[in-house]
Chains A and B, each alone.
Chain A
Amino acid sequence: MTLTTDEFVPTSGNDDDASQLLTDQEQQWVDKFMDETTLFLGPDPAIMRHHEIMPRTAYEEQCIAQGIDPIEVDRIRKRLAGALDEAFEMCESMGAAPGAKWADLSCAVYTAEGDVTYLSNRGVIAFSAVLHHPIRYIMKNWKDEPTVGINEGDGFFHNDSRFGMVHNTDQSMLVPVIRGGVIIAWVGATIHEGENGACEPGGMPSGSETPFDDGLRASPIKIVEKGHLRRDLLTFLQHSTRDPKLMLADIKVKMGAVRRIMDTVDRLIDEVGQETFVASLRVTVEDVETEVRRRIGELPDGTVTFNQFVDSTLKENILIKFACKITIKGERMIVDLTGTGPEILNRAINSPLASTKAFMVQAILSYWWPDLPRSTGAMSPIEVITEEHSWADAGYDAPVGQSLQASFRGFSALQSAFAKMQFSAPQKYSNVVAPWFNQINDFLWGGTTQNGEQVGNLCADLNGMGGGAKAFRDGEDAVAPLFCAMADIGEQEVMEEEVPFLQLVSKRLVRDNQGFGKFRGGMGYEMMVASRGTPSWGFMTVTSGSKFSSVPGMFGGYGCPVYPLAMVKNVNIYDIIKKDPTQFNLSMERVMNEQPFEGGDYQSSHMGLQFDVAKEGELYMIAQGAGGGYGDVLERDPELVVTDLELDRISAHTASSMYGVVWEPGTYVVHEDQTTELRAQMRRDRISRGTPYREFVQKFVQEEPPAELHYFGSWGQDNDENLIATHWGGAEPERVTGRLAELPLIMVPDRRVLKINKLEARVRELEQKYGEVVEHKS
């Protein structure tokens, strides 16, 4: 990345100071030289590392000085909310991207300096909450740049999350509101478009090993000039991805949606005056910040720690920590990610800091204080401690194609910890809830459709995340993704008109796929897909959590199970069903355990599947994840237990051994006395098998992770600055420790090479054992 002039601190003082490196005159020459010879303007740390609202501009001061009428501000805000919701619905109705059809988008109004003032009520909060970064970039670099400039009717596009975006699959349209030659606000729309020309179709490549595998790297560019879509740049964007029709259609959709917001903005300004409009935007941002400080002050002072352990690079199983300590002191809140593992320079799971923070905003505005106006002010007072080059704060050279692996953990850190932070607070603005499911259990796909089009995108089933249990009720099944409260899981029959595969099993709950507890987490469902009628097709999955549960429970409740990918290759299910329709009785459990299809290659693996060519009728099976459970399982109402049992949501083993319920087989009538006695015995058993804490710690705790685990992050929490990492400097991995800056660059070897090495060693071993002489040539 090229340094910008902002990074040079001008010297001052007189020319005679011998200790001064440059005189003022020399510094000016250097500045001028750097201005004229900057290679290119990369992401600007002065913009990207800050999430606080900007200071008032002189013009905003002037507008506010004219007086604020809170009733009028509220009226303006409601009008904007209406316009944003209308624009949202336009994108949802007309958007070509599957994500758009299922609410994976948002629209927003920003101050002139880029602070979010208000978002559409529906949609992805994080999308718009991160766009202050590109607006600030545009204002800083393109406003006065003679070859670019900002004029009425212009629209800017970007997708690279290094410049401020949730992830690279999203694309923006940012349009200035200009009056009298002055930029007084911005409006914008962002959609999860999917395909972006990455090394795998669908825009979220789990196989990305360099930033260049991540696909399109659009820094903010002026795609619309004075109302006209620039054909040259559009062609470049279309040429750079697999789905040129999608690119064209949705840029137009976003232009239309933004135009609709602008109509309301124009009318509002005509009605209330430019100054009142500007003042309203500004005070909304400030009011939210003030209210957030007040609400932090309502929480108890102290520190809540919530560590997460992620088990996959999406190519191999590792264990990498996402550490988080949240400290409240008066009206200050500090989120400290120290202890989080280092970035892995050839794996896709790293997240830029801005993307991680965007999902913190998601937790704050969806799960902490959902009643607040959705504004940059919500995150602004919260201090974040992190170190660049951790996997939650990736450097410029780290691939970020599957950044959701880290950024979703930023969400979970705040969402999960909040139950403990807010439990004792006298005033709550949301319910006490266990952790929400936080993985993208979904199929991404790509290839040639039955209509002859090249596409790459994903199923809407990622929107079917199980909700966390509340303190007073079970979590809802497949209710909503963590990033969008009112998303849709789509109409499968409609999708099947556009893509060449069928969901042979869909929305079928998997028994025991729960976070157990006094109240259980919402369940996920299984899905089974197979391609049909296509010359070329493939599937991917991009999920961790196949060895280590992705979310825990809360206050004694358990977390979700783990999730495998199951496949049956070398079969054609359509031929099988045609010959014997009784074989349509499909479930992951039956297919994998009974292996009913002769000649099939039955496989299970972790859920990081790089693009895999799917021949007609080969089966791919996954399950959606469950939310965390709340409270002690032995406090669950026995009637709720037998209801779940009767519906085959849990097994008899779980009902008796986990929940301690005794019932009458056949009628599901609870035997209350026997249940009470069994539960009392189970409590006595706990007391009997439990070990006093100090004694337990002495036996359980080890100085470092088990040798066979490829571990990254701090170990414990007493010395979070000291990280452990696994380094492949030679043929074998070695464990290294030190502060983040002291660690060597972390790159993971190709797992196929490792497997070949292992197999070759075994071949030589067997050759020796049996005395076979084979000449090996390299």
Chain B
Amino acid sequence: MKNMDIDSFLRDNKPQVKEDPAFLLEVQQKMRAVEGIKTEVDRQRRHGRIAVITALTAGLICGIIVTLLAYLYPIDPESVSEGVISSIRTFIGTWKHFLLVPVIGCAIALWFAIDSPKSASSRF
């Protein structure tokens, strides 16, 4: 191979690939497996999304109701009796001006949860 023309040597000796019909079949099989995974991920995402939206909606509704009650029926500090319920009412009554913060937080989180991509395929 002395004084060889490397260019023509390389062009004349391209690696030879053996014909393999199973190659494409295997690719198609793996593609089907990928589709299966995508469907499963989509299903799990959908379930998780529904759970998050349900929890945030419940939190938002409860928050609005508690805030409204706190403003509509203010607590008279003189009439407060002993007990857990009374303590909670007193606590809410004292901090009612700040109740809107978690309610707004809940609303924003809900908006993000509803607005997030519905399908896992956007990530693939």
Interaction A to B: no
Residues of A near any B CB (own CB < 8 A)? none
Residues of B near any A CB (own CB < 8 A)? none
